[in-house]
Structure 1
Amino acid sequence: MSKGTILYVGGFRLPDGNAAAHRVINNAKIMRDLGYNVVFINKLPSDQNKEKCFKNYFGFECIELHNIQNKKTLLKGLYDISDVISSLNHFDDVNMIIAYNYPAIALYRIKDYCKKNGIKCIADVSEWYGTKKRSILYKVIKGTDSTLRMRFVHKKMDGLIVISSFLENYYKGFTNTVCIPPLTDVLDIKWKIKYNKKEGVTTFIYAGTPSGEKERLDIIVKSVLSMKKNYPVKLNVFGITLEQFLSIYKLDIKNFEKEFFDTVNFLGRVDHNLVIKYVKEADYSFLIRDNNRVTKAGFPTKFVESITCGTPVIANSNSDIEKYISNDINGYLVTLNDLNSELQNILNSNNQMKVETNRFDYRNYITEANSFLDKLLINK
């Protein structure tokens, strides 16, 4: 017997188009295993307006809403909840709405609607957006929205699902909170397929979408190149092109020697399953980030995926990384100031690690999530 329907609202590129999609699918699998019917309301930008359509991903019903992305629709999205309310009419047993990184005013309006109709309203919080290196207009609109959401609206929610201990500690005492990192389903076929690592060369991989506020791919590239003289190394980069790399870090291609092009391979955005294949074939994945509020509040999905692939991670301390990484067991904690010498020590050690791959399986978090949801519904 179903415990009722949970509507999960946000902009997810289902089934696996972005980190949001991976997060909400595995959170939904927890809820399904607990007896809830989970339905996604997926608001996506498009080059044309389309009729509301119904799809199915991993056994979950999904209502997809496609709207042209322009200034008018972007502004409307900050406050309008008509699509969410109309979608509610398809179900008569909704007892909870979960809104993923939702705009502040729209989220507050959903909360107000839920309160009047006996529905619990939850926010799934995985980011604290920054405005560094953004336009003035972006800073005014998105900066204000982020401040309202993070500092005020979230504290009014019936509960919060947060991605990091930083956010858990920030909201402690304001509302019911549970910390759930990005998760995987180890029974998915993509995690079971085995690939052989290439011999004769140490292969590193970086997979992600770097920005000036988070990822330090420039430092990774520089460190790998410094190893080239004494070690056979290669770095595969997924998520951006060479041109984007140069633009983000304000670098001039003329300053790079031939060894750069022989060592670093930029592959851009590709199918997620292909990225998983390359991660499994790699000896190490890289995760080097600046330590700021943006990185403290979030948690890197690519770290979780690398561990699930059985590939050790070379990372500096940010977010909750220190809770999950152990030197010589599933990776190495390094520092930005001395990365070159630490990378050299790693290459000299030639340690063959057997990484525990089920650390982030969603089933490990069922009990925790059940306690959180039960507490919310008992107080209904």
Structure 2
Amino acid sequence: MRDTVLYVGGFGLPDRTASALRALGNAALLQAAGYRVVVAGKFARIPDPRQQPVQVHGFDCHDLRQPLPGTGEVDYTLFPTSVRALAMHIGPARIAAIMAYNYPGFGLHRLLGLGRELGIPVINESTEWYGWEGVRPVTNVRRILESRWRNNSLAKRAGNFLCATQWSSRRHPGVNALVLPFALDPAWDCWQGPANNDWCGDGDSVRFVYSGSPGLGMHKDRLPLIVDALDRVCPDGGRFRFAVVGMSAPDYLRSVPRHASLLARHAQSIRFLGRMPHRDAVGVLKAADFSMFVRDRNRVSEVGFPTKYAEAATCGIPVLTNRTSDIGDYLVDGENGILLPDCSPASIEHGLARALGMSREQLARMRARASHGNPFAVAAWVPRMQAFMAGLRLPS
């Protein structure tokens, strides 16, 4: 009986990265669809193989680099040795699929060969198309070429393609595909904590939160554009409070030194809260009037769906962002958030001015609408996942 999905990828367990949040949410969805799920990702330090699996949200989790006693540490980006060991440990006849999350090209190529050998379908889950980040030319060239390989020919060879946006799905007609922007379990403990109002200031301020990593050089999320726009719209900072979770002010200034005097002037209105456990970051988000981020519209942003949006929807927090990815399918401008046409300085300033012009009653009504139904709750996606799993194919 093929009742188990082996879910593998470089996500940072238990909740160190946004990719881990997506992976564990998808594991919860697969479980709700009737499957046992075994997860293999990366812990901060490889646990003693004798102490694995480690329980995370009720799932058996292994470290993909060294998942079992007697297995040496393996470079999973190149070799499927650790996946093979886990597959044999579970029993190939029990495995309905190996789901590979944003797997590096060479590793996925060899994983498809393993799937053919063992008679196990492989699901290519691809939600990233990497662009150039920072100043590491060798790393950048490899990442770019491998993500192109994964999103093009390897998607066709796998035959089963799980992606985050319609843009990605349209590129692969004829494959067994599921567009899954995000699935989250609202019952998890990380969503249950209280709001953290320590950073909010007085009751008249409009509260914005940015949470996450803006990428090397602020290329993914254009955080400096937001900071500039806040300063121009409200130079004295008296009408807003902006919390940045995930980096410290020195971290930010290393990338944007020109903002040193601006941050000094806005010491009360712009606060960098640094890295914190996910549950604590959710507490900061729950105290906000808006989750806020902006992104350039390009191939990188069209392939992925923002974790920030799914988290805000799960907490019932309106979002202020621009139109990228499939966000327009979920964010209705003026209803459950503010949707900008683009991330130009003029658009961001206009959106911020709209938010700052809202009364506390208007903000409460928008939050109430954002809290009405979570489109990313696991239960909403079960039928679509079941249909996808019923159509699985072996790799070619």
TM-score (ref. length: structure 2): 0.86
Cα distance between partner residues in 2 of 1:205 and 1:328:
18
Cα distance between partner residues in 1 of 2:73 and 2:182:
27
Aligned counterparts, 1:131-170, within 5 A: 131-170=132-171
| CA apart distance, 1:228 | 4.2
Q: Letter of the 1:184 partner, please give it.
A: L
The alignment-based identity, stated in percent, is 28
* 1:17 equivalent in structure 2: 16
* 2:34 equivalent in structure 1: 35
Aligned counterparts, 1:320-339, within 5 A: 320-334=326-340, 335=342, 336=344, 337-339=346-348
Match 1:349 to one of 358, 369, 386 = 358
Aligned counterparts, 1:19-168, within 5 A: 19-44=18-43, 46=45, 51=49, 53-66=52-65, 76-92=75-91, 93-168=94-169
Q: Letter of the 2:245 partner, please give it.
A: F
* 1:70 equivalent in structure 2: none
Cα distance between partner residues in 1 of 2:76 and 2:394:
32
| Per-residue CA distance 1:294-340 (angstroms, 9 max, x = gap) | 11111110111112111111011111111110122210012423322
SS at match of 2:171: helix
Q: Is 1:241 matched up with 2:240?
A: no
Cα distance between partner residues in 2 of 1:34 and 1:326:
30
Match 2:277 to one of 271, 276, 286 = 271
Cα distance between partner residues in 2 of 1:222 and 1:357:
34
Asked if 2 retains the 8 angstrom alpha-carbon contact of 1:3 and 1:35, the reply is no
| CA apart distance, 1:208 | 1.2
- Closer/same/farther in 2, CA of residues 306 and 156 from structure 1, 3 Å limit: same
Higher relative contact order (CA 8 A, sep 6+): 2
| CA apart distance, 1:133 | 3.6
- Closer/same/farther in 2, CA of residues 266 and 109 from structure 1, 3 Å limit: same
SS at match of 1:63: strand
Cα distance between partner residues in 2 of 1:272 and 1:282:
16
Q: Is 1:204 matched up with 2:208?
A: yes
Tell me, which stretches of 5 or more residues in structure 1 are unaligned? Answer: 68-72
- Closer/same/farther in 2, CA of residues 49 and 180 from structure 1, 3 Å limit: closer
Tell me, which stretches of 5 or more residues in structure 2 are unaligned? Answer: 67-71
Asked if 2 retains the 8 angstrom alpha-carbon contact of 1:186 and 1:308, the reply is yes
| CA apart distance, 1:66 | 4.8
Cα distance between partner residues in 2 of 1:19 and 1:254:
29
Match 2:376 to one of 354, 357, 360 = 360
Asked if 2 retains the 8 angstrom alpha-carbon contact of 1:306 and 1:313, the reply is yes
TM-score (ref. length: structure 1): 0.90
Q: Letter of the 2:214 partner, please give it.
A: P
Cα distance between partner residues in 1 of 2:374 and 2:140:
40
Asked if 2 retains the 8 angstrom alpha-carbon contact of 1:130 and 1:213, the reply is no
* 1:183 equivalent in structure 2: 183
- Closer/same/farther in 2, CA of residues 34 and 253 from structure 1, 3 Å limit: closer
Asked if 2 retains the 8 angstrom alpha-carbon contact of 1:239 and 1:268, the reply is yes
| Per-residue CA distance 1:56-98 (angstroms, 9 max, x = gap) | 122211122457xxxxx99944321111111112112112100
Asked if 1 retains the 8 angstrom alpha-carbon contact of 2:243 and 2:272, the reply is yes
Cα distance between partner residues in 2 of 1:253 and 1:358:
37
SS at match of 2:135: coil
- Closer/same/farther in 2, CA of residues 112 and 202 from structure 1, 3 Å limit: same
Cα distance between partner residues in 1 of 2:49 and 2:297:
43
Asked if 1 retains the 8 angstrom alpha-carbon contact of 2:115 and 2:395, the reply is no
| Per-residue CA distance 1:148-190 (angstroms, 9 max, x = gap) | 22222122113011011121112233x2110001222122344
| Per-residue CA distance 1:23-42 (angstroms, 9 max, x = gap) | 11111112112221110122
Cα distance between partner residues in 2 of 1:40 and 1:358:
25
Asked if 2 retains the 8 angstrom alpha-carbon contact of 1:279 and 1:306, the reply is yes
- Closer/same/farther in 2, CA of residues 113 and 189 from structure 1, 3 Å limit: closer
- Closer/same/farther in 2, CA of residues 340 and 170 from structure 1, 3 Å limit: same
SS at match of 1:261: coil
* 2:69 equivalent in structure 1: none
| CA apart distance, 1:117 | 1.8
| Per-residue CA distance 1:208-237 (angstroms, 9 max, x = gap) | 100233101101111222324374211000
- Closer/same/farther in 2, CA of residues 254 and 315 from structure 1, 3 Å limit: closer
Q: CA RMSD in A?
A: 2.6
- Closer/same/farther in 2, CA of residues 275 and 127 from structure 1, 3 Å limit: same
Cα distance between partner residues in 1 of 2:74 and 2:34:
37
- Count residues in correspondence: 371
Asked if 2 retains the 8 angstrom alpha-carbon contact of 1:202 and 1:234, the reply is yes
SS at match of 1:97: strand
Asked if 2 retains the 8 angstrom alpha-carbon contact of 1:3 and 1:37, the reply is no
Q: Letter of the 1:376 partner, please give it.
A: L
| Per-residue CA distance 1:231-289 (angstroms, 9 max, x = gap) | 421100011121222233x4335442632222211111101111111111111110211
| CA apart distance, 1:120 | 0.5
SS at match of 2:273: strand
| CA apart distance, 1:49 | 8.9
SS at match of 1:220: helix
Q: Letter of the 1:6 partner, please give it.
A: V
